[in-house]
A and B are shown apart, each in its own frame.
Chain A
Amino acid sequence: MPRHAIITTAGTLVLCLGIPLAAHAAADGKADLDSVISAGPVDPNSGAPMAWDKAIHDEQIHRFLLIDRLEYGDVDGANNYLWDAQGWIGGDYHKLWLKTEGEGPLSGGSPEDTEFQALYNRTIAPFWSAQVGIRYDVNPNPDRGFAVLGLQGLAPYWFESDTALFISEDGDVSFRGEFEYELLLTQRLILQPRAEINASAQDVPKYGLASGLNSTEMGMRLRYEIKREFAPYVGVRWEQTYGETRDIARADGEETSSTAFVVGIRAWY
């Protein structure tokens, strides 16, 4: 059709004569230059009218809930339970991050530890987030509030890291670091070592803590991902107290070291 001439993409503009086509398209099939800039308020991303919906929904709120450990432990004949869960809701750079963990004896007695954290999570580097917020412990008694300053992320060599400084309402400063690693035996059978370190900057006699390294908890669990979201596991957990903290525990007649064989479930949604 000579009317449209040959319009190459490399492009010389060809002025086309002839019968006008549909209302939308000019004879050369191109848009009018004046139509590119929209009248009225425009969306800064697209230059299109502000009233239109977004082309791309890259600011959506996502959510994630992980019950990392929900387990039953056999501790030298005495049985206990433990939970360790976290979740978040938010976008790529800003999230509300919630954590809870606790443990206690299965038969009788109150939980030994029960804590909740609510944190603002800010993505500060490709693998790292800074977290600030509050922690509230219901156990051990009496209840205690903390300010939290944390750093969570993936360290080189794939160590999942969760470290935090806690400042209690009495001004006591403590530190906790948790580190996990995943070793794939198969695509679904995963061996996961875990280490937790607790330290205190000062003596806190009310809670049986002395300054320095308080305790460690080492674990090794083997999980099988029936689905990615659902994995039962078996494992072992070894807790140890140190230094004066250990002395205090010993004086109180508590265990200073314990080994637990555990079975549990890891699940997320």
Chain B
Amino acid sequence: MDNRTHDSDRRRLLRAMGATGLLAGFNALLPAYARNNMAEGAARHLDTAAAQVPGGAARDVVMDVHVRRETIDIAGGRASAITLNHTTPGPIVELWEGQNAHLRVHNHLDESTSIHWHGILLPFQMDGVPGVVFPGIDPGATFEVDFPVRQAGTYWYHSHSGLQEQIGQTGPIVIHSQGDDGINADREYVIVLNDWTFEDPHRLVAKLKAVSDYYNFSERTLGDLAEDFRQSGVATTLKDRLAWGDMRMSPRDIADVTGHTYSYLMNGVHPDANWTGLFTPGERIRLRVINASAMTYFNVRVPGLPMTVVAADGKEVQPVETDEFQIGVAETFDVVVQPKADRAYTIMAETMARSGYARGTLAPRAGMVAPVPALREQPQRTMMDMGMDMSQMDMGGMHMSHGERTKQMGHGQMAMDHGSMQKMDRSEKSSGMAGMHHQGHDMGAAKKGHKMSGMGHDMKKMAHGTGPNAGTMGTGAMMEQTGPVIAKHGPDMHGAGNINVANVQRDRLAEPGTGLEDVNHRVLTYSQLRNVVPMQDRREPSKTIEVHLTGNMDRYMWSFDGVKYSQSTPIEFPYGERIRLVLVNDTMMEHPIHLHGMFMELENGQGDHLPFKHTLSVLPGSRASLLITADEPGRWAFHCHLLYHMEMGMFRVVRVSDRSGDDNA
């Protein structure tokens, strides 16, 4: 495939290295003399031992993090990267809830740097965002943070200065809970996912600014047109092409940056070097999966092993068993697997755009491998993602699609949809939003599902026949599983920096994520996440803030409400109050929206057990609602965690204070 040309060269090199015993992934297992003979000596990634969470007695932690720019072996090549204590990703920062953390960041770069402790509750001055909470760490300087650890779970740390995060400055954080977390893992590994490029990230931005589809080598071609004519008929296909052409957008726009330039790393290791975690059959293994990449969503699975999700964004959730989950940039999921057989299992992390993958292995002994699944076919955007009102369109294939949805989701979840929907409806009333339509009830899947129940196999096949690859207007899987419409867009089109608006906004929390609608196994959805502790703050929100995720792919501009950071003023959260934050995604792609300093409770229909999130991946054309108690005074960054979107201005400061607006110029 075209878009893996670069990477395949490196793969050949890696295979050659493997033959000479220099395979990076195994160098920890080499005898000392062999390691010493390697270029530069030490392993530069989280090898088996370094990725295993040591644990031990609860204690205060004092740790030094040295930030250096150095040339290292990475992804089958050599490059100048930013390392943390000589590795990328950096070492595990292991802390204990209820104890103190004293972390000292030493800047050995010749430029300013910073470390943001992602998801960690601490005084905002230590949060590590230059220009917002502190001036940054000057070359040669040391910055110390010292705070009581008030939480447990899996988090991570990374630079918040410029594009440093892209070239290696990321690492995992593991915090052990004060009491028994009930998870009882015999062994724990961090699984840190990164996207690595040998390009200068500034050049990468320049390319996106010049030609925004530079890295997309999966656009629709003449061949696809012929195929769609054949599969869906000329009329349907033309209608579809005209609709996309009218919007000047591409349904193949899944990721801005792809495997054309990226190698995908697991714990810093290229797939061909095969990072390996060892286990004894029968053990319960906790995998702390961290998406520390700059721009890449992953679909994570361990073929042959069910995964029990026990935490999301560090915070415990009631265990839910699944076979695959999509992880947005900056999210973390903790899963428990229990391999009983004496065999190897592949940890597969395929990118959402399917242009590459990170991969590792769980094995009883080093050197074992399991089959690596082929990349699945690349998904396609639909009119749903565009926030189009499908009820006004006349299209074949639509009706049986709803039947399909019913079949796949079952009644339990359907009811859940309605629950969360009603909750949202209520919230909208309380916030006095005008122009709301309870279309969800009319379009409710359950209703149509009923009508369709009893429709046989043929219909299902037809639905598949006109599926996503047929390129029809959402007659494929996306439509089948798209959630109910819960709101409509107002008249504000958000200016020249925004192309599209979600005319109808759906509740899509019960969806598995782009490209996972049709897989024949279980996939985690946000609606399944249920907190282990009941909601503490049950006040009705005193303030509702609606933020639209906006952008212009053609000009590579990204913003909130069509306004870049440099034109914005802080979002005010009155101290102590309960806030409802509503996110509406007007763009056609997912955005992982991260709030620093405070957890957000996702209104996902789980009653008074709403899960905590620090980063929410908001599906295109969707509307999501979050509750926040503004109990952490500070100036907190709030942004899209796709690095280049953030740097283009999809960023705000949220200010929690009792003197809001005092200094508003």
Taking CB atoms, residues of chain A closer than 8 Å to B151 are: 9
Given A123-B496, A183-B222, check contact A24 B125 (CB 8 Å): yes
Set A44, A55, A62: member contacting B651, Cβ < 8 A: A55
Interchain nearest-CB distance for B533 vs A (Å): 8
B646 CB–A CB distance under 8 Å? yes
Let me know if B633 and A48 touch, CB within 8 A.
Answer: no
CB-based nearest B residue for A10: B536
Taking CB atoms, residues of chain B closer than 8 Å to A56 are: 131, 565-566, 639, 646-647, 649, 651
CA distance A8 to B647 in the complex (A): 32
Q: State which residues 59-107 of A face B: CB under 8 Å.
A: 59, 62-64, 92-93
Q: State which residues 14-33 of A face B: CB under 8 Å.
A: 21-33
Taking CB atoms, residues of chain A closer than 8 Å to B145 are: 24
CA distance A46 to B651 in the complex (A): 10
Let me know if B123 and A126 touch, CB within 8 A.
Answer: no
Let me know if A42 and B665 touch, CB within 8 A.
Answer: yes
CA distance A51 to B664 in the complex (A): 16
Let me know if B537 and A46 touch, CB within 8 A.
Answer: no
Let me know if B555 and A92 touch, CB within 8 A.
Answer: yes
Set A27, A53, A185: member contacting B148, Cβ < 8 A: A27
Let me know if A21 and B647 touch, CB within 8 A.
Answer: no
B503 CB–A CB distance under 8 Å? no
Interchain nearest-CB distance for B124 vs A (Å): 5
Which residue, of A24, A35, A46, A51, has the highest number of chain B Cβ atoms within 10 A?
A46
CA distance A157 to B244 in the complex (A): 8
Let me know if A33 and B633 touch, CB within 8 A.
Answer: yes
Interchain nearest-CB distance for A230 vs B (Å): 12
A208 CB–B CB distance under 8 Å? no
Set A27, A28, A36, A123: member contacting B655, Cβ < 8 A: A36
Taking CB atoms, residues of chain B closer than 8 Å to A54 are: 131, 566
Set B147, B217, B246, B576: member contacting A22, Cβ < 8 A: B147
Given A21-B148, A29-B122, check contact A9 B219 (CB 8 Å): no
CA distance A31 to B150 in the complex (A): 14
CA distance A11 to B247 in the complex (A): 45
Set B207, B568, B657: member contacting A36, Cβ < 8 A: B657
Interface string of B234-261 (1 = CB under 8 A from A): 0000000010011110000000000000
Let me know if B146 and A21 touch, CB within 8 A.
Answer: yes
CB-based nearest B residue for A155: B248
Q: State which residues 173-216 of B face A: CB under 8 Å.
A: 178, 206-207, 209-211, 214
Let me know if A53 and B131 touch, CB within 8 A.
Answer: yes
A1 CB–B CB distance under 8 Å? yes
Taking CB atoms, residues of chain A closer than 8 Å to B601 are: 10
CB-based nearest B residue for A55: B131
Given A58-B648, A184-B220, check contact A45 B210 (CB 8 Å): no
Taking CB atoms, residues of chain B closer than 8 Å to A172 are: none
Let me know if A47 and B653 touch, CB within 8 A.
Answer: yes
CB-based nearest A residue for B126: A24
Let me know if A187 and B565 touch, CB within 8 A.
Answer: no
A to B contact number (C-beta, < 8 Å): 223
CA distance A183 to B658 in the complex (A): 57
Interchain nearest-CB distance for A57 vs B (Å): 6
A43 CB–B CB distance under 8 Å? yes
Interchain nearest-CB distance for B113 vs A (Å): 12
Interchain nearest-CB distance for B530 vs A (Å): 15
B: number of interface residues (CB 8 Å): 96
Taking CB atoms, residues of chain A closer than 8 Å to B245 are: 156-158
Taking CB atoms, residues of chain B closer than 8 Å to A49 are: 135
Let me know if B569 and A29 touch, CB within 8 A.
Answer: no
Q: State which residues 194-233 of A face B: CB under 8 Å.
A: 228
Let me know if B219 and A187 touch, CB within 8 A.
Answer: yes
Let me know if A126 and B552 touch, CB within 8 A.
Answer: yes
A: number of interface residues (CB 8 Å): 65
CA distance A30 to B131 in the complex (A): 20
Let me know if A23 and B146 touch, CB within 8 A.
Answer: yes
Stretch at the interface among B94-102, B262-270, B376-384, B511-519: B94-102
Taking CB atoms, residues of chain B closer than 8 Å to A35 are: 125, 633
Given A45-B565, A55-B132, check contact A33 B657 (CB 8 Å): yes
Set A22, A33, A124, A184: member contacting B219, Cβ < 8 A: A184
Which residue, of A46, A56, A268, has the highest number of chain B Cβ atoms within 10 A?
A56
B112 CB–A CB distance under 8 Å? yes
Let me know if A24 and B123 touch, CB within 8 A.
Answer: yes
Let me know if B554 and A127 touch, CB within 8 A.
Answer: yes
B656 CB–A CB distance under 8 Å? yes
Taking CB atoms, residues of chain B closer than 8 Å to A228 are: 207, 211, 214
Taking CB atoms, residues of chain B closer than 8 Å to A93 are: 496
Let me know if A4 and B150 touch, CB within 8 A.
Answer: yes
CB-based nearest A residue for B599: A9
CA distance A166 to B498 in the complex (A): 30
Taking CB atoms, residues of chain B closer than 8 Å to A1 are: 98-99, 148, 178
Let me know if A37 and B131 touch, CB within 8 A.
Answer: no
Let me know if B248 and A156 touch, CB within 8 A.
Answer: yes
Taking CB atoms, residues of chain A closer than 8 Å to B129 are: 55
Interchain nearest-CB distance for B357 vs A (Å): 20
The residues of A with any CB-CB pair to B shorter than 8 Å are 1, 4, 7-13, 21-33, 35-38, 42-49, 51-59, 62-64, 92-93, 123-127, 154, 156-158, 183-188, 228, 268
The residues of B with any CB-CB pair to A shorter than 8 Å are 2-3, 98-100, 102, 112, 121-126, 129-136, 145-148, 150-151, 160, 162, 178, 206-207, 209-211, 214, 217-223, 242, 245-248, 496-499, 533, 535-537, 552, 554-555, 557, 564-570, 575-576, 598-599, 601, 612, 629, 631-635, 637, 639, 646-649, 651, 653, 655-659, 662-665
Q: A8-B533, A49-B135, A158-B245 are in contact. List 17 more A-B contacts (CB 8 A).
A: A12-B537, A13-B631, A21-B100, A21-B147, A25-B123, A29-B122, A36-B657, A45-B568, A53-B131, A56-B639, A56-B651, A58-B564, A59-B566, A126-B496, A184-B219, A185-B221, A185-B223
Closest 7 CB pairs of A and B: A10-B536, A58-B649, A22-B146, A55-B131, A157-B245, A1-B98, A31-B123
A-B contact pairs, 21 of them (CB 8 A): A9-B121, A9-B536, A13-B631, A21-B147, A31-B124, A36-B659, A43-B131, A45-B653, A46-B653, A52-B131, A53-B135, A55-B131, A55-B637, A55-B653, A92-B497, A125-B496, A126-B498, A154-B554, A156-B245, A157-B246, A183-B222
